[in-house]
Structure 1
Amino acid sequence: MESARVTANGIEFAYHEWGDGDRLALCLHGFPDDAGTFDTLAPRLADAGFTVVAPFMRGYGSTGPAPDGDYSASALGRDALALADALGGDLDLVDPIVVGHDWGAVAAYAAATIDPEAFTHLVGMAVPPGFPTNALGHPRQWLRSWYMGFFQLPDLPERALRAEGFALVELLWGLWSPTWDYPEARIESVRETFRTPGTVAAALAYYRQLARGLVARNPFADRDGSGIEVPGLVVAGADDGCIGSELFADVDDAFAADSRAVAVRGAGHFVHRERPAVVAEEVTSFVGR
């Protein structure tokens, strides 16, 4: 794994890189997490012929904050498009794919909506297209998503995240992936990312701006209702305690292009960490080696 920096969409992004294949796999992390989350999946994608790049998302760690304060889904999508363009040119890569987990999946869906020609395939993990609008019809999901409501409060969420050495991060990981025996080094890396000035405020801004956007529209939806025009693979952990499996039932309806939904047994929300070999095989099979 190598670390580097690139400027895209007006932001300087820090990123990790694996492999030297001729295809770009842009891997985008979620919350509460960082770019290191891909360090078990990325080598497997690299072995399949990809150069894998995992940036710290806008506002996270040593990646710069949003210059205009925008942490909306569309801003994340524009980041993904700009990163693919910049990295593809710098590294001389072709046929890019985008792989997103959690908020990274949101960014992938948004990027495919904004520019369907930018990526040959997209992979969304742990968050289905249409969430959270589709959650309105699933009362059990309201309980699972309690933290999203909590994050709308002023001041208290910032203090709660920082309390007791970011114990809330470990609580959420335990609730969302109840059988995952995660390495202490992995969660300590995430704690260190959240200790970076500005990261907590940025991470909460994702949720706060999402809530405001939902008042007017579904921020993950395509513009004209015809469906996402990029072939998509949506991967869920069968034991996810964050987003219920029932919300993945109608994934095909969100796509105008070919799509596939996969539920991975023995995995929760962090499916790519819990079952990296299974996820890598699903990804490489779907996008072509």
Structure 2
Amino acid sequence: MRSTRVEANGLTFECLVEGDGDRLALCLHGFPDDAGSMAPLQERLADAGFTAVAPYMRGYAPTDPAPDGVYTASELGRDAVALAERLCAEHDLTEPVLVGHDWGAVASYVASVSSPETFERMVTLAVPPRFDALLRAHPGQFVRSWYMWFFQLPDVPERALRWNDYALVEFLWGVWSPTWQHPPERFEAVRETFDTDETLENALEYYRQISGGLFERAVTDRTPAVDDEPHIEVPTLVLHGDEDSCMAPALFEDIGGVFAAGTPHRVVRVAGAGHFLHQERPDVVGEEVVEFLTA
């Protein structure tokens, strides 16, 4: 694994790079996590002929914080498009594909809708498309998403997450992936990331800047219907774990309506995996991802 810095969308992104193939696989991490979480997938993508690049997302040190303080999903999507374009241009890479976990999945959905011509294929992990529209049909998800409400509070979430050396982060990993025995070095790396500069504050802004009031829309009649929103035109594989206690597996059962007519898409439920399925079942998930992206 090597690192590089990339200028894109007005920021300098620190990126972890695996492989030297002629195709780009842009791998976007989630929360509470960092770019190192994508290593199991990067290794398998590199073996399949990709240059797999995992940036620290905006605000996650050593990537720059947003100079304008913007951490919206729309801006995350613009980051993904700009990174792909810059990496392809600078390193003579072709046929870019996108892989996103958690917030990285959110960024991937936005990028695929805003710039469908940029990516050949897309894989998302642990978060379904149009999560806001699904909330009304699955009210039990409100309970699972308690942390999103909590993170709206000023100051308190930062103190809670830092308490007892980030014990809450480890608690969330344990709840969301109940059978995962995470490596101590992985937790230590994430703890160090959140302890650098204002990474934790920036990461929480992702939740505080959810556009339009996610929960307010979900409990009123102002949540746009799926048919009223832009449809995904990029061939997509959606993977989720059957033990995920963060996102209910039922959310993934009927998402076909978000894809444009004729757009290939698959949903795969990974047995024995929770929210961090690419780290819990790296061989199973890696095989699904590589097979789809090289088809």
Distance in structure 2 (CA, Å) of the matches to 1:235 and 1:132: 18
CA distance in 2, matches of 1:258, 1:225: 18
> Residue 278 of structure 1 aligns to which amino acid in structure 2?
V
1:139 offset after TM fit, Å?
Answer: 2.4
1:45 is the counterpart of 2:45: yes
Once residues 99 and 34 of structure 1 are traced to their aligned partners in structure 2, the CA distance between those partners, rounded to angstroms, is 14
| Distance (whole Å) between structure 2 residues aligned to residue 28 and residue 50 of structure 1 | 15
Post-superposition CA distance 1:199-254 (Å, at most 9, x none)? 111111000111644357779x9896351011111000110010000000112221
Aligned to 1:229, the other structure's residue is in SS state coil
CA distance in 1, matches of 2:10, 2:223: 25
Offset of residue 133 of structure 1: 3.1
Tell me whether 205-214 or 271-280 shows the greater mean CA deviation.
205-214
Aligned residues: 288
Q: How does 1:10-159 map to 2 (within 5 A)?
A: 10-159=10-159
Which secondary structure does the structure 2 equivalent of 1:7 belong to?
strand
Alignment RMSD: 1.7
Q: Which residue of 1 aligns with 2:207?
A: 207
- Structure 1 residues 213, 70: CA separation in 2 closer, same or farther (over 3 Å shift)? farther
Matches within 5 A, 1:242-281: 242-256=246-260, 257-281=263-287
C-alpha distance in 1 between matches for 2:227 and 2:86: 25
* Contact 1:113/1:222 (8 A) holds in 2: no
What are the Cα deviations for residues 99-130 of structure 1, in whole angstroms up to 9, with x where unaligned?
00000000000000101000001111000001
Contact 1:222 1:228 in 2 (8 A): no
Kindly indicate whether the alpha-carbon contact (under 8 Å) linking 2:226 and 2:257 is maintained by their aligned counterparts in 1: no
Partner of 1:288: 294
User: Is there any run of 5+ residues in structure 1 with no aligned partner, and where?
Assistant: none
User: Residue 142 of structure 2: SS of its match in structure 1?
Assistant: helix
The alpha carbon displacement at 1:136 in A equals 2.5
Structure-2 residue corresponding to 1:240: 244
With structure 1 as the length reference, what TM-score do the two structures score? 0.96
Specify every segment of 5 or more residues in structure 2 that has no aligned partner in the other structure, as ranges. Answer: none
After TM superposition, the structure 1 = structure 2 runs for residues 175-190 of structure 1, keeping only pairs within 5 Å, are 175-190=175-190
Distance 2:256 2:61 in 1: 35
Quote the Cα distance in structure 1 between the aligned partners of 2:25 and 2:131: 24
Kept after mapping to 1: 8 A contact 2:60/2:203? yes
Q: 1:47 is aligned with what amino acid?
A: D
Q: What's the TM-score, normalizing by structure 2?
A: 0.94
CA deviation map 1:119-154 (0-9, x unaligned): 001111000001133122222211110000000111
Contact 1:130–1:218 under 8 Å retained in 2: no
Q: 1:190 to 1:109 in 2, by over 3 A?
A: same
The alpha-carbon distance between structure 1 residues 218 and 169, as it changes in their structure 2 partners (threshold 3 A), is farther
1:57-104 per-position Cα deviation (integer Å, ceiling 9, x unaligned):
000121001121111111000000000011111111000000000000
Contact 1:84 1:96 in 2 (8 A): yes
Q: Post-superposition, which runs of at least 4 consecutive aligned residues in structure 1 deviate over 2 A?
A: 211-219, 221-226
Partner secondary structure for residue 32 of structure 1:
coil
Percent of aligned positions that are identical = 59
Q: Secondary structure at the match of 1:83?
A: helix
AA aligned to 2:89 is: G
Question: Please, which moves more after superposition, 203-212 or 106-115?
Answer: 203-212
What secondary structure does 2:129 align onto? coil
CA distance in 2 between counterparts of 1:11 and 1:71 reads 12
Deviation string 1:176-220 (CA, Å, 9 cap, x unpaired) is 00000110000100000000111111111000111644357779x
Deviation at 1:38, TM superposition (A): 1.2
- The structural deviation recorded for 1:37 is 0.1
Residue 240 of structure 1 aligns with an amino acid whose one-letter code is: D
